Amino acid sequence: MIKAGRVRVNGRVAQPGDKLNPHDRVSIDRRPVKRDAMPASATGARPKVLAYYKPQGEVCTSADPQGRRTVFAGLPKLKRGRWISIGRLDINSSGLLLFTDDGVLAERLMHPRNQVEREYAVRVSGRATDEQLQALRKGVDLKDGMARFNAISRGAGQGRNRWYKVIIMEGRNREVRRLWESQGLAVSRLIRIRYGSCSLPRIKRPGQFWELGREEIDALLNL
């Protein structure tokens, strides 16, 4: 954000490494902001990023009118600000879900124009033909527009259940499931295993969370 010239201090474009004084006037995109409401990326500080292995059965909202457990329920409390989820997973899906205290970073990692990869392990009922896989790579017209997998690779499988790994560059509602359904194939398991540069470690179990380190956060900032 600072490198892009969007932050100004006392009317002057801020530079990386600038120090803020208590009475400095700060604006982002020429709009004044309060110091305590500024995202970390606007101050030059490194944002906090939390990774969570979402289990099936949890919803990606801060509160649920039906009383279902939410992904925010077990997260550690922040002294300042709040956790913002970077994307979502539907109630029947599991896997890697990232949270940050920086809304600007969250928006950047979620927006389709930034082409951030999301990788999933998908178990499909039925074996897809080469023609179906080619259609999913080229693009399918869903109700909310064209969608496609940027990459598909076959995995293991027994009987009618087959595993695939797929990569998409956006996060529309149930997009992975709807793409498979467009070919008459149902998804029986869906696990997000990577978001951008951050992967789901094999040693982690559903319900666990962990804070990303300096190098991992820097990798996300540089996407």
Residue boundaries of the structural domains of the chain: 7-41, 49-113+198-221, 117-195
Look at residue 32 in the predicted model and tell me its pLDDT.
77
Q: Are 68 and 91 in contact (CB under 8 A)?
A: yes
Give the model's pLDDT for residue 3: 66
pLDDT average, residue stretch 28-57:
77
Name the DSSP letter for residue 14: P
The token pair that represents 59 in the structure block: 């919803």
| SS3 state of residue 178 | helix
Evaluate if residue 168 carries a pLDDT over 70.
yes
Q: pLDDT tens for residues 57-67?
A: 999 999 999 99
How far is it, in rounded angstroms, from Cα 212 to Cα 218?
10
Residue 43 has pLDDT above 80, yes or no: no
CATH superfamily of 49-113+198-221: Pseudouridine synthase (3.30.2350.10)
Q: How many CB atoms lie within 10 A of CB 9?
A: 17
**Strand partners for 145:** 142
A 10 A CB-CB count for 25 gives 11
- pLDDT category at 35 given cuts 50, 70, 90 is low
Q: Do domains 49-113+198-221 and 117-195 have the same CATH topology?
A: yes
> Of the listed 29, 36, 90, 218, which one is catalytic?
90
171 pLDDT above the threshold of 70: yes
What DSSP element (H or E) covers 221? helix 214-221
Q: Catalytic: 64?
A: no
Distance, in Å, from the CA atom of 68 to the CA atom of 52, rounded to the nearest integer, reads 18
Closest CA to 18 of 36, 38, 37, 42: 42
pLDDT value of residue 14: 76
Ranges of beta strands (E only) in 49-142 are 49-54, 84-86, 94-100, 118-125, 140-142
Q: What is the CATH number of domain 117-195?
A: 3.30.2350.10
Average pLDDT over residues 198-202: 96
Contacts 24+ apart (CB under 8 A), 78-83: 78/48, 80/36, 83/50
